[in-house]
Amino acid sequence: MIFPCIDLMGGRVVQLVQGRERALEAGTPAEMLEQFAAFPEIQVIDLDAAIGSGSNDALVEFLAARARCRIGGGVRSAERASRLSQQGAHRIIVGTAAFDRNLLDEIVAAVGRERLIIALDSKGGEVVVKGWRESTGAAAEKMMGQLEPYCSGFLCTYVDKEGMLEGTDLDWFRRLRGATGLELTAAGGITTIAEIRELQKLGIHAALGMAIYTGKLDLKELAELAR
């Protein structure tokens, strides 16, 4: 599958470079939903919640009520996971909380393993958390086996190339594919149809942001490929 991304910051739809520098602002969430209507599912990330600077709860609820969404960003309690579920989230993405086993147990109990996606986002070869601002010191492929019992899939972002429109690291995703049999979604730097096709051959989904918002990838072509 192909998941267009709606990243929220300060009440706006934005795209960041490596999770830090705001590169652009897009249309309203309603306008983005209209543009992405041909895709069966959308990825929504509350960036303010991810870095602990606030939240965009009203917009998240607006999006979840109008489209099939996988939603993440700042899901660090069973209560927040439950609230997202109640708001209509089809699946819930957990990053930082996955490294607190007691908390992860609580989240799984609240929403169910089948609805949980664990984010293993890598920078400099190590998984990063807290809005990509802290390193865990561990490689994503080494952690997957430990975390598989708690989720139904992984979202893996190659942060080194996130938002830079320079292409992604397909070799990294090949290693990740070899490390887990669960659903795997790639993100971070994906810029060309050729990369998406290669990921599809590996049985890996693609979450797309900057390349869509800048027009590097054509939505109509992507929608046809997604079918």
Phi, psi of 89 (to 5 degrees): -60, 130
Single out the catalytic residue among 7, 160, 169, 218: 7
Annotation marks residue 7 as catalytic: yes
Domain ranges of the chain: 2-226
Q: What is the pLDDT along the chain (227 residues), one digit of tens a residue?
A: 999 999 999 999 999 887 777 878 988 999 999 999 999 999 999 999 988 889 999 999 999 999 999 999 989 999 999 999 998 999 999 999 999 999 999 999 999 999 999 999 999 989 998 877 888 889 999 999 999 999 999 999 999 888 778 899 999 999 999 999 999 999 999 999 999 999 999 999 999 999 999 999 999 999 888 77
User: How far, in Å, CA of 52 to CA of 96, rounded?
Assistant: 12
User: How far, in Å, CA of 72 to CA of 76, rounded?
Assistant: 10
Full-model pTM: 0.94
For residue 221, the Cα-to-chain-centroid distance in whole angstroms is 21
Is 15 in a helix, a strand, or coil? strand
Single out the catalytic residue among 105, 121, 160, 171: 121
Annotation marks residue 121 as catalytic: yes
Please tell me the total number of residues recorded for the chain in this structure: 227
User: How far, in Å, CA of 212 to CA of 222, rounded?
Assistant: 9
CATH topology of domain 2-226: TIM Barrel (3.20.20)
